[in-house]
Homo-oligomer: A and B are copies of this chain.
Amino acid sequence: MVQKQYLTYNDVHKLCQEAAPEILEKFQPQLIIAIGGGGYIPARILRSFLKQPGSPNIPIQAIGLSLYETLPSDTTTDSPVGGAPEKEGTEVIRTQWLDLSALGEMFNLVGKRVLIVDEVDDTRRTLEYAVRELEKDVELARAKLGVQGETKFSIFVLHNKDKEKKGTLPKDMMEEGRYMAARTVGDAWICYPWEATDIDEHDRLAKSQGVEEHAEHNKLA
């Protein structure tokens, strides 16, 4: 039985707030790429905290990546909600990609500092896909436009599940600290508030869980 962990919206808001100073210091992102649907909400919240007085908002571009379970019958189905543990035989499907034509000076990613945002890093498949495909875009732009400059991708997730990963991220990204998780958790089922059908009950579960954790912590202390 996988343990469920409930997050309130304010929990999510505060995780973004807490992470923002380090993101500003280490990454100084010029563009946020939100992986939808789970990354939309943290990306939008994070942007408020990354805003610098006198500077415009950091643009957010959304890409859509869905995990599909490949069933034995060769049909596919939506995988469960974002925080749920991923099943075997899951593949990444692209449902939206960048539209850089409208971004003015951000029209290509060459030489830019780009922060990729998602809610959870479960098997790392989605993040691997995102970084690999974005790097391909950078190479294409370099070749096509003849522009130079180093593109730096960084990653922010609310939760990294401490488990065996199926996907890998570039070695230099990990070594240079360009991967950041607000929290590292066990292989829990993380229940994000935007998936709650009864948000009051969801908040009660989050609160009672907090109380239990606190009691557990005191017991251990």
Interface residues, chain A, with chain B CB atoms under 8 Å away: 8-10, 13-14, 17, 34, 36-37, 40-41, 43-45, 47-49, 56-57, 59-62, 64, 66, 77-78, 94-99, 101-104, 193-197, 199-200, 203
B48 & A195 in contact (Cβ 8 Å cutoff): yes
From known contacts A41-B41, A203-B10, infer whether A77 and B48 are also in contact, taking CB-CB under 8 Å.
no
A99 & B102 in contact (Cβ 8 Å cutoff): no
A13 & B78 in contact (Cβ 8 Å cutoff): no
**Interface pairs (11), CB distance under 8 Å:** A10-B199, A13-B193, A34-B62, A36-B60, A41-B44, A44-B194, A48-B194, A57-B66, A94-B102, A96-B99, A96-B103
B96 & A62 in contact (Cβ 8 Å cutoff): yes
Which residue of B is nearest A65, CB measured? B102
Copies in the complex: 2
List the B side residues contacting A195 at CB < 8 Å.
48
Of A98, A99, A199, chain B has the most CB atoms within 10 Å of the CB of A99
List the B side residues contacting A104 at CB < 8 Å.
95
The secondary-structure label for the interface of chain A is mixed
Tell me the complex Cα distance, A182–B129, Å. 37
B40 & A34 in contact (Cβ 8 Å cutoff): yes
A78 & B56 in contact (Cβ 8 Å cutoff): yes
From known contacts A37-B47, A41-B41, A64-B59, infer whether A194 and B99 are also in contact, taking CB-CB under 8 Å.
no
List the B side residues contacting A37 at CB < 8 Å.
44, 47, 57, 60
B194 & A59 in contact (Cβ 8 Å cutoff): no
B13 & A199 in contact (Cβ 8 Å cutoff): yes
* Among all A-B residue pairs, the 10 with the closest Cβ atoms: A9-B9, A62-B62, A40-B40, A56-B78, A40-B44, A94-B102, A13-B199, A97-B99, A45-B194, A10-B199
